[in-house]
Each structure stands twice: as C-alpha cells, then as structure tokens.
Structure 1
C-alpha cells in the first residue's frame, strides 16, 4: 500500500472547469495550467494545488475556497451527482459519497465515524504540509457541503466544522457559509453532523437527471408489446437499482411485491428474461452517461454496476457495434454538425 507521505492523488476534471468558471467570473488571469486541464477526465493533485495557489496569489484573501464553492454545479461533481439522485436520505448520500469520493477529490482519505453518542464526524486524513493548505482543505469541505445542498430538501444542520490551520481574521465568513461554529488549529479537518440529520430526505422535486432517465426508460417501454403497469414499475426499479448497485432479481421482485418465480414467468410471457431487461436499461443509461464528457469509462462502468470496465466495453460493443470511445466520438461529431448548421 502507498504510504501517506508519498500520497499525491488526482482531481476530477469537472473541478478544473469549476476553477475556470470562477476565474472568469472574477476577471482573473487564466493560467496555462488551468487552461490545460479543461476537458480532461482527471488531472494531478499537485496541479490542482498549483492552480489554487495561483488564484490565491491573484486575490490574496482568506475564505477563498468558500467563494469558489459558491460556483459549484452538479456537472462539476460528475458521478457523485448522478448517484446522489438515486438516494433517499442524507445518510445514504453520505455513504455513497464515502464510497466514491476519490473519483472526485482524491486529495486525502475520507473517514466517516462516530464523534460521540449524538454526532458523526466526516474527516480528511492530514497530508504532508507540501500537499495541503487552508484553501485545499476548505474547498474540499465546501464542495462537499454544496454537493449536499443541491440534493437535501430541508437544508443541512451542521454541528461544527474544524480546520487544522491558523485562525483567519474573518471567521464570521466561515460560520455564515457553514451556518455553525467553525474552529481552527484543531487536530483534524472535519465536518460534524448530528446523528438525526442522517434521516433528512433527499430532495425529490429537482431531480433533473432522474426525470430524464425515467423519460428514456418510458420510451424504451413503449417499444415492448403489451406493456403493463408492472413493466413500468420494473423498469424504474431496475434503473434505480443499477445506480445503487442493488438490482438483483430477488431484490427487485421484492420491491414489486412478487416472488422471483412470478417475475420470471411474467417476463417469459413477453419472450424476454430479467437479464435482458437489465441490459436494455443499461444501454439507455450508457447512452446518457457517455454524453457527459467528464465521466470516464471507469466511472460509467461503476454507474452501470459493472465490476470491470472491460465488461462494460464488451457489452456496449454488442449493443451498438461500436466501442464506447467510438460512440462518444461519433456523438460529439454529430452534435458539432448540428451546432454548425444552426
């Protein structure tokens, strides 16, 4: 295992776009390093640190990570945004964030553990001083909080936020952003939540992607003969199950209040199988995900609940006759032609 002192990591490409958007909004000079990380899937953590240092040098003020986080959009956080929209509670979203956070911000290991009997701590392991600064720490926390604010219906009730660096002059800016006490020169960088906050529901009214996927699933259903209400519920259950990696037939049948055998007989009456229905949904999801240039093939494979990227690539070639890379390139070419015609 790599030792922490050698740890560097990488950053999701969407965060490079975030810094570009922020820099443009503030009228900052776009550095060569920032320009080079546009439209890439990932870039090295040391480059992330370098770009942030350059922005800090131009603005020369504290709480900069909080300012940057104000510009975060779901597209900047990629796979986590897709997954969050299939979660039901804050606790489930945090669990999924823990599972996949390194795909977004691989700056330091993330730990979720009990703080005391009434609170839970989400903390980052401390990195060597040459890899971390106050701005890298605060943007990691602030981006996570903004991510949660996109999807939490009733707001986020934090108990406390801790940083390891020296106390700045404008502590009130931090407390206003996090809406809770913020302490500096602590042993750990961490967010502390009340345990009861884990039951807060995920917002249902603004699931743009989820609605899009459901519409596509409905369109797929319309191609089937004798489509029933059961088919529609099955399609939706598989779609959500894939995003949660919980799509096995026994689990799906239970959600539909059926036995596994009853579900299999229903599908046999339509001359299909459960596995074929899963593959149909995977195909429509893959087409949607491949149009997001910031999602890597590895991340798309995870979203489709494939254990290996190679398995996804083989399946996609069987569906379309093209590799995912070829399909993505062709789609981009087609879209560019449409734009040129307009």
Structure 2
C-alpha cells in the first residue's frame, strides 16, 4: 500500500469515526489491523479486505451511499495528492489532467480519461473488469466517491458552485434523489457508462491556490485546538466539527449536514434541541470564529470573507459581525493594526 492509498484509508477511518462507527469492530470484521494502520507501520490491504471495509462501513452506518457522503465531506487538503496537483497547476484543466494521471496511485479499480469538445469536458471512468470482479462493492462506492469529490473540489479550486451538465452511471432508483442533491444534476441511468460532464468554460479558469492555503490554515487551527476539537461525542460537537472541517466552502446547510449523518433535518434539529442548542447557533458560532480568523490572517477583504461565510451582501455580514463583537470588520482590523 503506497502513501496515497494509506492517506485515503486514514481519511476513510476519520470519516467513519465522525459517523460514530466503531473503528475497532469495523477493522476487525474487515480483517484490517487498525493499530498498525494508525501507527504508520507496514500494512497491506487485500482486495477482499478493501471490499469488506466498504461493505461493513455501509452496513454499520446503515448508509448504502457511504462513499457518496465520504466524498461530500472530505476536504481538499485531506488527500496529499490533491495538494500536489493544486501547487503545480495554474488552471482547472491542468489540475484535472494531473489528477487523472495520478488516479492509479489511489485505486486500480478503474482508470479515468478526459474527453473534450468545443462546449464541454468529460471525465470518463473505465472499469478494470478483473479488479472490479474481485471487489465489486468497493468499485461502486469508489465511483460514487470520485464523482462527488470531483464536483465539490472543483468548487474549492475556483470558489464557484459548479453544476455538472450530465452524470451517467448505474444507480438504484431509491438513491436518485440523494445523488441529484449531492451531484447537483439529475443522474442519467446507464448500465455500462460512468461519466461526468462539465461546461467547457471551467477548463481555463485559474485555480485559486490561496483557497488551498486557507484550508491548510483552517486544519492547523482545528488540530491545534479549535472549538471543534472535542473528546465529546455529542451531536453538538459532531456538527461543529463538520462545520469547521468543511468551512473553506462556506457554511453547510442544515439539509446537507443531516444527509451526511444519514438522518433527516427534523431529526437532527431534535437531537440538537435535546442538547439545548440550535443548528443556527452552531453555524453562527463557527461563522464568528472564521470571520475573526480570516481578519487576523490579513489576507482577505471583508467582501471576500462575507462571500466565504455565505452572506449575499456585505452589509449583512457587517451587521452580524457587529452583533458578535460590538464593532465592524473594518473597526476590528483597525484594532489589530494598532
């Protein structure tokens, strides 16, 4: 198992822990040595073990779309391979081509090719039939993961809410609504095709490398002991941690948060109410902390911060900031410079 594969498995485990899956049991029934994996010791995971890992994660979480939700939750900086792509690319197209070339470092279940025409570019996933036959369940989950990870990380590269023009894949009818929510496109059922198509206009857009640096600084803040870092297993802490770790793309809506934890929005609201807190209060607390963090770094205008925090108007952000701190963003920055 190479470094990129280990990093993917560790990200998988971190997400499983966030979903309250018992990691020791998950690894034991999948035949994987968790202690060796987390300690950095030599670990080899067979195709059967990898397939069982996905199968058992879906079973323990009661979530048949575990891979889809993993892709939705995984932040850009979590996979070192993505950081290398960002640092060595200037446009989305260059980043996509490098990502395609490096895909074999993460999986050999399929390869990826890029097809371009005058209006669109398409990422087409080509199954390795032999490997897919050995790990059929893992294959489906990894395809789901790569599809949604592609969409959400393109967002992070250019700070835009990208919608694919077309997604073609086999899927169960009962999953269509969730696929559409996460992929932002009504999926087209296809038995033998796995492809995701985007507008060509994104291809030559410059990558905002500063956004990758922003993620790294946020992760450092979290790991150093941010409000999200907690030993508690309460819903409040789980929600707050998720908000922090995905904050570089703005504040996650309640519906998306609930779906990622495989509960209904109403159920999540009720669980938080039992802990005497609301989702809005948690979101505002994270917004406040992020606003202060962004202003303290000195690298962002108030208008940029307003956008990153999900405010449609700078005036709305300024009012909220004054409510939190008693001063305006400009006033706070002035205090920092004194």
TM-score (norm 1): 0.52
Contact 2:158–2:206 (8 Å) recurs in 1: yes
Residues 1:76 and 1:41: Cα distance change in structure 2 (over 3 Å)? farther
Q: Which residue of 1 aligns with 2:162?
A: 156
Question: Corresponding residue for 1:293?
Answer: none
8 A contact 2:4–2:106 mirrored in 1: yes
**Deviation digits for residues 244-282 of structure 1, max 9, x if unmatched?**
xxxxxxxxxxxxxxxxxxxxxxxxxxxxxxxxxxxxxxx
Spell out the pairing of 1:52-131 with structure 2 (5 A cutoff).
52-114=54-116, 117-126=118-127, 127=129, 128-131=132-135
Residue in structure 1 matching 2:22, options 18, 29, 52: 29
Q: Deviations over 1:160-210 (max 9, x none)?
A: 11213x423131211111111212334211111122221222124324289
> In 2, are the aligned partners of 1:9 and 1:44 still within 8 Å (CA)?
no
- Please give the alpha-carbon distance, in whole angstroms, between the structure 2 residues aligned to 1:24 and 1:138: 20
The answer to whether the aligner puts 1:208 opposite 2:213 as a matched pair is yes
* Bigger share in helix: 2
Give the CA deviation at 1:118.
2.2
CA contact (8 A) 2:122 2:197 kept: yes
1:51 Cα offset (Å): 0.9
Query: Which position in structure 1 is the counterpart of 2:150?
Result: 144
Aligned residue number for residue 17 of structure 1 = 10
1:142 offset after TM fit, Å? 2.3
Tell me, which stretches of 5 or more residues in structure 2 are unaligned?
218-338
Q: What is aligned with 2:176?
A: 171
Q: Is the 8 A contact 2:11 2:74 kept in 1?
A: yes
* Larger RCO (alpha carbons 8 Å, 6+ apart): 1
- Distance of aligned partners of 1:91 and 1:62 in 2 relative to their CA distance in 1, 3 Å threshold: same
Instruction: Report the TM-score when normalising by structure 2.
Output: 0.53
Whole-angstrom distance in 1 between the partners of 2:78 and 2:124: 22
Distance 1:60 1:37 in 2: 25
1:163·1:186 contact (CA, 8 Å) conserved in 2? yes
Distance 1:41 1:67 in 2: 28
C-alpha separation between the residues in 1 aligned to 2:134 and 2:63? 20
Cα distance, 1:75 vs structure 2: 4.1
Give yes or no for contact 1:28–1:58 (8 Å, CA) kept in 2.
yes
The answer (yes or no) to whether the contact 2:83–2:212 under 8 Å persists in 1 is no
Q: Is the 8 A contact 2:72 2:182 kept in 1?
A: no
1:34 deviation in Å?
Answer: 6.6
Give the corresponding residue for 1:132.
136
Cα distance per residue 1:105-131 (max 9 Å; x no partner): 3331111123x5522221111234442
RMSD, matched Cα: 3.1
For residues 124 and 42 of structure 2, the distance between their equivalents in structure 1, rounded to whole angstroms, comes to 26
1:259: which partner in 2? none
Change in Cα spacing, 1:78 to 1:105, as seen in structure 2 (3 Å) is: farther
> Which ranges in structure 1 are unaligned for 5 or more consecutive residues?
1-7, 213-342
Alpha carbons of 1:161 and 1:20: their partners in 2 closer, same or farther (altered >3 Å)?
same
SS in 2 for 1:37: helix
